[in-house]
Amino acid sequence: DTEVTQTPKHLVMGMTNKKSLKCEQHMGHRAMYWYKQKAKKPPELMFVYSYEKLSINESVPSRFSPECPNSSLLNLHLHALQPEDSALYLCASSPLDRETIGYTFGSGTRLTVV
Amino acid sequence: GIQVEQSPPDLILQEGANSTLRCNFSDSVNNLQWFHQNPWGQLINLFYIPSGTKQNGRLSATTVATERYSLLYISSSQTTDSGVYFCAVNGDDKIIFGKGTRLHILP
């Protein structure tokens, strides 16, 4: 299995809703990442997990809450989002020894906040 | 931090044409990847190429690490090659993306 699977593919939520994005990989990668991508921009890093522990938080607002329950699964919990949070959310994974195959990305969740 | 610059920003070609995309980076890196993002948002890993040359079908890439640049070659372009091509390098435990080259292949 050489894939990163993200669900759902599309999500529309109101500003008072609580929702979660899910990311799963079975490649034995011990680093997982959340990226946010706005239209016509490159992906921007949000969070990094190494060995299921949060290692990097790029000053992301607390309305985004990541969780890594195990080495294969990464969640992003969403609460009280704003319309400007509408974007493509990408998950990625990599071996911690990144000097081999690099990063593998999922197909993303396209989020619309109304 | 490391700066990544890609050129050209936009490229429009007729089907069957060849193209060269460039990525310059400001500091030495030990990890460089080329990605293709299709119109549906999927980021597809094309090459992991911190140095040297690799080929995969109609695509090939060369990285000259000592001169801090990488090139992506696309030969005999097809409409399915359309999308955005990103170069990304590893720095400080995270990958840093260039702004991308937006490629349009006309039928």
Instruction: Check if the beta carbon of residue B70 is closer than 8 Å to that of residue B32.
Output: yes
Reply yes or no on whether the pLDDT at A10 is more than 90. Answer: yes
Instruction: Check if the beta carbon of residue B26 is closer than 8 Å to that of residue B68.
Output: yes
* pLDDT score of B93: 67
- In sequence order, the β-bridge partners of residue B47 are B34
Chain A partners within 8 Å of B35 (Cβ): 105
Chain A partners within 8 Å of B30 (Cβ): 99
- Mean pLDDT is lowest, of A60-74, A82-96, B23-37, B87-101, for B87-101
Any A CB within 8 A of B31 CB: yes
Instruction: Check if the beta carbon of residue B54 is closer than 8 Å to that of residue B45.
Output: no
* pLDDT score of B2: 86
Query: For A104, what's the count of Cα atoms within 13 Å in the CB-facing half-sphere?
Result: 21
- In sequence order, the β-bridge partners of residue B45 are B35
- Determine which of B47, B49, B54, B95 to mutate to test the interface with A (most A C-beta atoms within 10 Å): B95
pLDDT mean over B29-44: 90
Please write the tens of the pLDDT for every residue from A26-85.
999 999 999 999 999 999 999 999 999 999 999 999 999 999 999 999 999 999 999 999
* pLDDT score of B31: 86
Considering CB atoms only, which of A55, A90, A101 is closest to B93? A55
Rg (C-alpha) for chain B, rounded Å, is 13
Question: Peptide bond preceding A66: is omega within 30 degrees of 0, i.e. cis?
Answer: no
Share of chain B above pLDDT 90, in %: 80
Average of per-residue pLDDT values in chain B: 93
Task: Quickly list DSSP for A2-70.
Answer: --EEEE-SEEEE-TT-EEEEEEEE-S---EEEEEEE-TTS--EEEEEEETTEEEEE-S--TTEEEEEEE
Considering CB atoms only, which of B42, B48, B97 is closest to A102? B48
pLDDT mean over A1-21: 93
- Mean pLDDT is lowest, of A14-28, A73-87, B87-101, for B87-101
Strands B59-64 and A73-79: what pairing?
unpaired
Contact A42 B94 (CB under 8 A): no
Please, which pLDDT band fits residue B27 given cuts at 50, 70 and 90? confident
